[in-house]
Chain A
Amino acid sequence: MSYTELTVWTRGIIMDKEGRDIVNSIAASSRLEGKFAQAMENYVDNPDRTNAPTRKYCRVSDRMLENELTYENEKPNIVVLVEGTMVKGWDYMRGMPPGGTLVINTHYTPDYMIRFVPGPERLARLVCVDAAKLADHKWLYYRLGQLGLDRLSTEGAAERSKDIAPDIAAPLIAAVVKSTGIVKRETIEPMIANKKAFQMALEELHIMPLNPVAA
C-alpha cells in the first residue's frame, strides 16, 4: 500500500496556474495508472492577491482515499516551491514525515538553499531546478528583481490557453517525477505542453541526497 501527499506552494495570481498544473497533471496521470488520486486548490489562502502564498494539494493512493473531504494535506511527502524565495517564508515542512522530498525552483544550488530549510533532517532529497531558465519563458519574472512588477502573469490563463504546463510548471513536474517516481514519465509526458523544458529538466536538475529511509 502506498499513499503520497504532494503540496505545492505558489504565489497568488502571478504563478497560480503553475501550481494548479502541477497537482492536476500528477493526479490525472495517477488515475491513468489505475491509482486513486485527488487534486484541489486552497481558498483559505485568498489566492486572488498578487504574490500572496497559496497552496495546491494532491493525493495519490493505491486504495480509495479515506480523507477525501479534508482539504489540507496534514503530512505532505513531497513539497514543491514554485518560487525560490518562498523557502524563507513559511514552515512548509510542517507535518512532513521522514524521507520527504523538497523541490525548489531556483538558480541557486541545493548547497546554498539547504540553509533556509527548517528541519532538513526529514528530507531524503533536496531538488533544485532552474525552471524559469529551462522553460525559457517570455515573462518578466525570470528576473527576480522585476517579479513584483509582473502583471502579465497567468491571470486569465485558462481563457488564453487550455495547455497544461506551457511554462515553468513543466520542469517542476519533471523534477517531481524524476526524483520521487510518483507517476511514470511515459504517462505524464504526453500531457505536458512544454515538452522541451520537461526533457531538459530531466537532464539538468540538481538532486542533493540527504537522509534515506529504509523502505
Chain B
Amino acid sequence: MSTKGTRIPEWLTVPFAGITPAPSQEKGQDLFPTGNWRSIRPVYRDKLPPCNNACGTNEKIQGYLDLVKRGKYLDAYALIKEDMPFPSVTGRVCYHPCEQACNRGQYDEAISIRAVERFLGDLGQALPRDVVKPGKPNGKRVAVVGSGPAGHSAAYQLARLGYKVTILEKSPRAGGLNRGGIPDWVLPQHVLDREIERLIELGVAIKTNVEVGKDVTWDDLKKNYDACVLAVGLTEPNSVRAEGENKAGVIYGLPFLRDIGMGTSKVKLGARVAVIGGGNTAIDCAREALRQGAVEVTMITVESNPQEMPCVPEDLHDMLEEGVDLIHGRAMTAVLGNGKAEALQLYPARFSGAINASPITINREAPAERFAVDNVIIAIGQHASLAWLPNEFKNERGTIKIDRFGRLGDTNFFAAGDIVQLGSGQPLMVVNAVGDGKRVAFNLDKVLRGEPLQPRKIPVDVILDLDRMNMTYFPHFPRVKQAMLPPVSRRKTQEEVIQAFTEEQAVEEAYRCFSCGTCNACDNCYLVCPEPCIVRSARSNGLYKILVDYCKGCRVCIEECPTGCLEGVPELDFDSGVVRMDTAFAISPGLHGRQAQELQNLANRPAKEI
C-alpha cells in the first residue's frame, strides 16, 4: 500500500522505502487499527429466555437444552437439580408454562421442554448416586411441615445449604400432593419413591404419621428447631353447598385421589359417574373414575365452554379422547335419592363476574334438569385446615399471613406452597410450589445467618421478540411428539399414558431450541466478522472477545447473531476505549505503545527480498 503524500513520522520509516505492510500481511493489523471508525460497539450480553422466566422455579431451561444438544446429559441433569429437586416428577406432571412462553411457539411449535426434563429426570433416577451433595453441616435444625412439592423443595434446598432438616408428614407415606393428588398413570409411585429416597440420601429425616397440631404443637416447633417451614398445603375439599351432599355415593375429588394414591381406597364406583368441576383435579378424577370401573363419566362445569375451564388444554383433550362427556353451564343444586345418590338436580348457571373468581349465579327460573348418576365426585378446589395456627398469623383468605419474603411476622417461621398461594393470583401447581419452597429456603437461610432480606429481582430483559433474533438460521422443524397409549387401551389400566423420549428424540428436540438471547457458542460472530476482530480461545459462551482496536462497528456480527445476545451499544456510552490516532494511516507514538515498540524494532530486522 502506498503512503505517498502521507506525513510519516521518523520512527515509522520501514526498511523498504515507501511501502508499509497491507492489513492482510504480517503485522499489517498492527499498523492499521480501525477501532475509531466505530460509533457503536458490539457487546455480548445474555438476556433471560422466556422459558426460564415463565418457569415457576426459574429452571435454567435454555442451559440444559443446550447441554443435551451436546450430549452432556449429566451436566444438564445437575443444572436442573439446582432449582428442581425432582425433574422426573415435573417431567411428567408439570403444566409447562415454559412451553406456553417458548418463542418457538410463535415460529412453528414450542419445544417439548417437559419431555426433555423427564428424559433427564429418568436418567438421574437410574444413577447409582445422585449428583447433588449435602452442604457442610452448620449445626442448625429446621423443621419442614409437609412433604408435598413445596416442602420437598424447601427441605432439599436447606439440606444443600447444610441444615439438619426434619420433614413432618401427617400421612403414612411421604409425598404430599405429589402422591395423593396425582394419579399413577401420570406419575408412577416408584418414580416418586425414588425421588424421596434421594432426599433421604441428602440427610433429610422424614417422620411420617406426625400431624402438626395433634402430635406436635406450635410451641414444640418453636422450641425444638431453629426455624420452621410450613408447607402444609390445602387439605380440605370445598363443598358445593348443595342439598343432600352428605348422601352415600358423594365423593370429594382430592380424598378420592389421595386414598387411591396411598393405597387405602375403599371406594367402589357405579357405572354412571358425574364429576363436578372443571379444573385439573376434576379432569384427573374423571379419568381415574374410568380406571376405577365407571362406564359413563360426565363432567359438569359452570364454565360455558372448554376454553374457559381452568385446566391444562392437553389434559382436557386426552380426557375427551378417553370418552368423558362434558356438560357446560350447569350448577348442581341438590343430590337426589333415597339415602344414596341416584340423580343430580342441575340448573343453568354462570359466573357473575370473572371466571373462577366470582360467585356463581344460578338461574332458578329455568326448569330443573335431572341427571341420573350412581356416584358424584365433587372437585371444586380445596381450602386449608389451620386450627393449630395462632390467630395472629391467619388472614382473611383462610391462609397463612406472610410478608413478601414468606416469613410469618418476625418469627423464624416461614410458609410456602399452596397454603400461601391460594387466592394470591399464582397458579396452584407443582412447579409454583417448588419455586416458592426454593425461595423461602434461601430467605430462611439469610435470616438465620443474620443477612438482610432483599426482594426478588424482576428480570429486566426477557427476550420475547423474534425480531431481536435472526430467524434465518432456524429452519422450520416439527415438534417431536411423545408416544401415548391408545385411548381405548388406556381407559382401564394404571399404566403411564404418556411415554418417555428416547435419547435420540431428546437430542432432536433440544436441537430445536433457539437459545433465545443467550450465547450458545455457535461461532457465527466469529465466522461472519469481515475483519479478524472476534477472537476465541475456546468455543464456549462468554469466551469470545472483540478486539476494539480493530472493530469498525459494521454491525454484521450483531445482525447475524442467531440468538440476539450480541447488541450494539453507542460507543460514547463507554468511558473507556479511547484510542487516539492521527489518522488511520499514521499512528502517533506512545498511545499504541506495543505497536510502536514493534515497529521501532522493525528497522533492526534484515530487509526482506522483494
The interface of chain A, by Cβ under 8 A from chain B, is 11, 43-46, 51-53, 55, 72, 83-91, 94, 106, 108, 115-116, 118, 144-149
A44/B40 in contact, CB under 8 A: no
Contact residue among A44, A83, A91, A116 (Cβ-Cβ distance under 8 Å from B39): A83
Complex alpha-carbon distance, A52 and B577, angstroms = 18
Chain B residues packing against A (C-beta within 8 Å):
5-7, 34-40, 552-555, 559, 568, 570-572, 575, 577-585, 588
Question: In the docked arrangement, what's the CA distance between A46 and B39, Å?
Answer: 19
Ordered nearest first, which 4 A-B pairs have the shortest CB separation? A89-B36, A85-B39, A148-B555, A51-B37
Given contacts A85-B571, A144-B570, A145-B40, contact A45 B584 (CB under 8 A): yes
| Interchain Cβ contacts under 8 Å between A and B, 22 examples | A43-B5, A44-B6, A51-B38, A51-B553, A52-B584, A53-B584, A84-B39, A84-B572, A85-B39, A85-B572, A86-B36, A88-B579, A89-B35, A89-B579, A89-B580, A89-B581, A90-B582, A108-B572, A144-B40, A144-B572, A147-B553, A148-B39
Contact A147 B39 (CB under 8 A): yes
Determine the residue in chain B with the shortest Cβ distance to A107: B572
**Chain A: minimal CB distance from B392 (Å):** 54
Q: Which of A55, A84, A144 gathers the greatest number of chain B CB atoms within 10 Å?
A: A144
B5 adjacent to A44 (CB under 8 Å) = yes
B34 partner residues in chain A, CB cutoff 8 A: 52
Contact of A88 among B6, B555, B578, B584 (CB under 8 A): B578
Asked if residues A53 and B570 are in contact (CB atoms below 8 Å), the reply is no
Return B580 CB to nearest CB of chain A, in Å. Answer: 5
The answer to whether A88 and B572 touch (CB under 8 A), given A45-B583, A116-B578, A118-B580, is yes
Question: Would B580 and A90 count as touching, CB distance under 8 A?
Answer: yes
* Residues of A contacting B583 in the complex (Cβ-Cβ under 8 angstroms): 44-45, 53, 55, 90
A2 to B588, CA, bound (A): 31
CB distance from A36 to the nearest CB of B (A): 25
Contacts of B570 in A (CB 8 A): 85, 144-145
Smallest Cβ distance from A130 to chain B, in angstroms? 13
Expressed in whole angstroms, the minimum distance between the Cβ of A75 and any Cβ of chain B is: 15
Decide if B577 touches A91 in the complex (CB within 8 Å).
no
Nearest A residue to B554 via CB reads: A148
Q: What residues on A are CB-neighbors of B577 within 8 Å?
A: 88
How far, in whole Å, are A87 and B574 apart by their CA atoms in the complex? 12
What is the CA–CA distance of A189 and B304 in the complex, to the nearest angstrom?
Answer: 73
Across chains A and B, the number of contacting residue pairs, with CB separation under 8 Å, is 86
Residue numbers in A under 8 Å from B585 (CB-CB): 44-46
CB neighbours of B579 from chain A (8 A): 88-89
Identify 17 new A-B residue pairs, CB closer than 8 A, beyond the known A85-B39, A88-B571, A149-B555.
A51-B554, A52-B37, A84-B39, A87-B572, A88-B572, A88-B579, A89-B35, A89-B580, A89-B581, A90-B583, A91-B580, A115-B575, A144-B571, A145-B568, A147-B40, A148-B553, A149-B559
Complex interface: chain A residues within 8 A of B39 (CB): 51, 83-85, 144, 147-148
Tell me the nearest residue of chain A to B577, going by C-beta.
Answer: A88
Closest to A45 in B: B583
How many Å from the CB of A15 to the closest CB on chain B? 11
Alpha-carbon distance between A53 and B577 when the two chains are bound, in angstroms: 17
Q: Which chain A positions have C-beta within 8 A of B580?
A: 89-91, 118
A residues in contact with B40, CB < 8 Å: 144-145, 147-148
- Shortest Cβ gap from A33 to chain B (Å): 32
Report chain A residues within 8 Å CB of B582.
90-91, 94
Which has the most chain B C-beta neighbours within 10 Å: A43, A44, A89? Answer: A89
Closest to B36 in A: A89
Chain B residues, CB < 8 A from A147 = 39-40, 553
Return chain B residues, CB-CB under 8 Å to A87: 572
Q: Which residue of A lies closest to B35 (CB)?
A: A89
In angstroms, Cα B414 to Cα A202, docked, is 64
Asked if A91 and B588 sit within 8 Å, CB to CB, the answer is yes
Shortest CB-to-CB span from B139 to chain A, Å, is 53
Please determine whether B575 and A51 come into contact, CB atoms closer than 8 angstroms. no
User: In the assembled complex, which residues on chain B have CB atoms less than 8 Å from the CB atom of A86?
Assistant: 36
Known contacts A44-B5, A89-B580: does B37 contact A53 (CB below 8 Å)? Answer: yes
Contacts of A91 in B (CB 8 A): 580-582, 588
Instruction: Compute how far the CA of A52 lies from the CA of B38 in the bound complex, rounded to whole angstroms.
Output: 9
A94 to B, closest residue via Cβ: B582
Among B7, B35, B559, B583, max chain A CB count under 10 A is at: B583
Docked Cα-Cα span, A90 to B579, in Å, equals: 7
Task: Give Cα A43–Cα B583 distance, bound, in whole angstroms.
Answer: 12
Bound CA–CA A128/B5 (angstroms): 33
A90 partner, pick from B7, B553, B555, B581, beta carbons under 8 A: B581
Q: How far is the CA of A86 from the CA of B35 in the complex (A)?
A: 11
Taken together as a complex, chains A and B put the C-alpha atoms of A116 and B571 apart, in Å, by: 12
Q: How far is the CB of A89 from chain B (nearest CB, A)?
A: 3
Does the CB pair A53–B588 fall under 8 Å? no
**Distance A116 CA – B577 CA, assembled complex (angstroms):** 10
Complex CA–CA separation, A172 to B553 (angstroms): 24
Within the assembled complex, what's the spacing in Å between the Cα atoms of A213 and B581? 28
How far does the Cβ of B44 sit from chain A's closest Cβ, in whole Å?
16
A108 and B580 CA atoms in complex are apart in Å by 21
Please give the distance in Å from B573's CB to the nearest CB on chain A.
9
In the assembled complex, the Cα of A44 lies from the Cα of B1 at a distance in Å of 13
List B contacts of A53 (CB < 8 A). Answer: 36-37, 583-584
Complex interface: chain B residues within 8 A of A145 (CB)? 40, 568, 570
Chain A residues within an 8 Å CB radius of B553: 51, 147-148
Query: In the complex, how many angstroms separate the beta carbon of A200 from the nearest chain B beta carbon?
Result: 23
Whole-angstrom distance between the alpha carbons of A106 and B575 in the complex?
Answer: 15
CB of A139, distance to nearest CB on chain B (Å) = 14
Complex Cα–Cα for A144 and B40 (A): 7
Q: How far is the CB of A138 from chain B (nearest CB, A)?
A: 19
